[in-house]
Structure 1
């Protein structure tokens, strides 16, 4: 299915359609911005007593059914969609929710903006920013955008930064211990922390030129005030939502939808985020990389990894898109990064600019009989576990798909 490139729909027009709907089916792409947007609209529908269903899919296909209205979030699919291209889907969703007469949570919207790679207050998020500031629910401060008050815990798993100690809680604690930070961080301590992270990101041996600018979005965060949010910063909230979109989408939707998330929901969200972030960093640590014209390829082998040692181990493949994004943002000198797990027969790709990456993945997948999906700046390919002849998939299948993708790029 080709990704369309139509303009972002007028919020009032979408709100009019939803207001008259007997039932709404929301389907969102598996990223933090789309999950935040779906949560905002779902909360607005709940406020006006319109029944709804929300699901998250890496390649969403709208399904309205007999009487329902389908709304795709994060991709331009079907008659009603919030594409998320050009401006974050969460900014449009915030406006739609207001048009429905609801009072949407501006922090969820701003978290979606950060998850989309944007900056709060820009790309159409001015209204959400104004609402958060007028309610005094956020304040700008020095430091690093983390979801937790425990800096070592937050920094080790954060996917907004990539340092030598990312993915290693013990090494992170040692790096922080050398700073001698107080138990309760004041603004000076936050500045010291930010300086450490900025230097460690930019000075890493294999850091790309892009790393120094990418880390900026994790610095000088918007801190959430009081009980305005279940997480310490807007950027930390964004990091959690992005991880949940792939690791535990049901938890992500529940979090974005909840007006006052319970302690149990917050704990479940942080547990999934932590497992996801650690898995992604460790995969990139162990990756074998190769540079090609136009892309960096990181070959990993995470299928079957068990970070917890128990039955609740995270799905290692869920972290593959995050591995690709981390490689793109902090390691790749090329505009596209591809993370490949050959043993699992799957790859994920991330681009610095909208280049029709999803369509390129679909095209490459079709050449080898695989499945491809994605949006303008990210995508993926998976070979079937068993082909039509009953033979198991081989490394050559995904390797051929990778070769076709490189050719398409």
Structure 2
């Protein structure tokens, strides 16, 4: 069950792609890997190299897709590049804690192309890296030099209408989250323009909205100490005046949502096709479902683990929201109908998730698929497996 593919340095991956007759990109289902595959795909399109992008929700799915051969395209010179991890003897990028987007940017530059800095910054944000931090400083500078981004007050949402964006964002959890009418009522007094004419909203209006949202977030009855830290990361966004979405952080959230719910739309978006409206709609539904599920969720607290039980909803988004705003423990487990997700602030969960998947498969004698990246994990299992079995297995191995 462990991943034993060949981790590829970007230069070697670029050399393989440079002479390829056809390139298959098999990507992990998250915003970072989706952005990385889009960056490489755009460079391939510029070179007129045929390619295919597919998204695999679990390590097993990516393994099958990476190892599969297509009689019509399986010829000498074909290259398969895994963006994430897979149990296949194929080059892999983004298989470590380093964001796949950074590897992809190096590949693109080695191919003689220039990566789209807005897409790259969105991918890095989806990976949990602040725009411009560390190795990504040059990307932020490139975006600034081309007037593609500007720092402003407010929140990191994808929509020009802040009400719609804030209501459905999984970067925020407030008493009115998931309800546009309640969000509008909460913000109407502090920023009337947000309700009357969002296009007329100025810096003062954005600042007022950011302050009001932050106060509602930290003032919620069930907010935890981490809520103040989490909401700070959602404030003062990098706006993208000419981008497909209003902010870099909002773009990142759309990539993450589409990667997990509508991968075809997400791949088209990352490749630069006209898919922004469809992607925005998918993101809106993703956030609405996450907040609705949280409203009816059951919770349980254990030593080091906070458990959220939901009947339906995107478990990864739910786990991340709870970890940021509601959990009293360092690790969150969201359990749904045949799916579960783990999220943590500072702990690396990759080894834990793989161990849980292996143990569950042995205990239940059923197939268990998994995925993990940095501080998150995902499990897919037979819905007949009792929730308590999932909880006890995670508790024993975390």
TM-score above 0.5: yes
Q: 1:401 maps to which residue?
A: 390
Deviation at 1:137, TM superposition (A): 0.7
Q: Which ranges of structure 2 fall in alignment gaps of 5 or more residues?
A: none
Q: 1:15 maps to which residue?
A: 14
Q: 2:375 maps to which residue?
A: 377
For the 8 Å contact 1:107–1:132, the answer to whether it is kept is: yes
For the 8 Å contact 1:29–1:75, the answer to whether it is kept is: yes
For the 8 Å contact 1:24–1:64, the answer to whether it is kept is: no
CA shift in 2, pair 1:99/1:91, >3 Å: same
Range with bigger deviation, 365-374 or 331-340:
365-374
Residue 245 of structure 1 aligns to a residue in which SS? helix
Residue 52 of structure 2 aligns to a residue in which SS? strand
Q: 1:83 maps to which residue?
A: 94
Q: 1:364 maps to which residue?
A: 359
**Within 5 A, what are the aligned runs for 1:5-404?**
9-59=8-58, 60-61=62-63, 62-63=66-67, 65=69, 66-67=74-75, 68-75=78-85, 78-83=89-94, 85-182=96-193, 183=197, 184-225=200-241, 227=242, 229-258=243-272, 261-262=273-274, 265-302=275-312, 316=313, 319-341=314-336, 344-352=337-345, 353-355=347-349, 356-366=351-361, 367-368=363-364, 369-375=366-372, 376-384=374-382, 393=384, 396=386, 398-404=387-393
Deviation at 1:249, TM superposition (A): 0.7
Q: What do residues 289-331 of structure 1 show as CA deviations (whole Å, max 9, x unaligned)?
A: 10111211101111xxxxxxxxxxxxx4xx1111111111111
Give the structure with the higher percent helix: 2
Return the alpha-carbon distance in structure 1 between the equivalents of residues 381 and 304 of structure 2.
23
For the 8 Å contact 1:25–1:63, the answer to whether it is kept is: no
Q: Number of residues paired by the alignment? A: 376
> Cα RMSD (Å) of the superposition?
1.9
Q: Which ranges of structure 1 fall in alignment gaps of 5 or more residues?
A: 303-315, 386-392
Range with bigger deviation, 355-364 or 90-99:
355-364
Return the alpha-carbon distance in structure 2 between the equivalents of residues 361 and 196 of structure 1.
41
Residue 135 of structure 2 aligns to a residue in which SS? coil
Range with bigger deviation, 48-57 or 70-79:
70-79
Residue 374 of structure 1 aligns to a residue in which SS? strand
Range with bigger deviation, 96-105 or 151-160:
96-105
For the 8 Å contact 2:352–2:397, the answer to whether it is kept is: no
Return the alpha-carbon distance in structure 1 between the equivalents of residues 168 and 100 of structure 2.
25
TM-score, L = length of structure 1? 0.87
Deviation at 1:181, TM superposition (A): 3.1
For the 8 Å contact 2:10–2:93, the answer to whether it is kept is: no
Return the alpha-carbon distance in structure 2 between the equivalents of residues 354 and 4 of structure 1.
19
Return the alpha-carbon distance in structure 1 between the equivalents of residues 93 and 225 of structure 2.
33
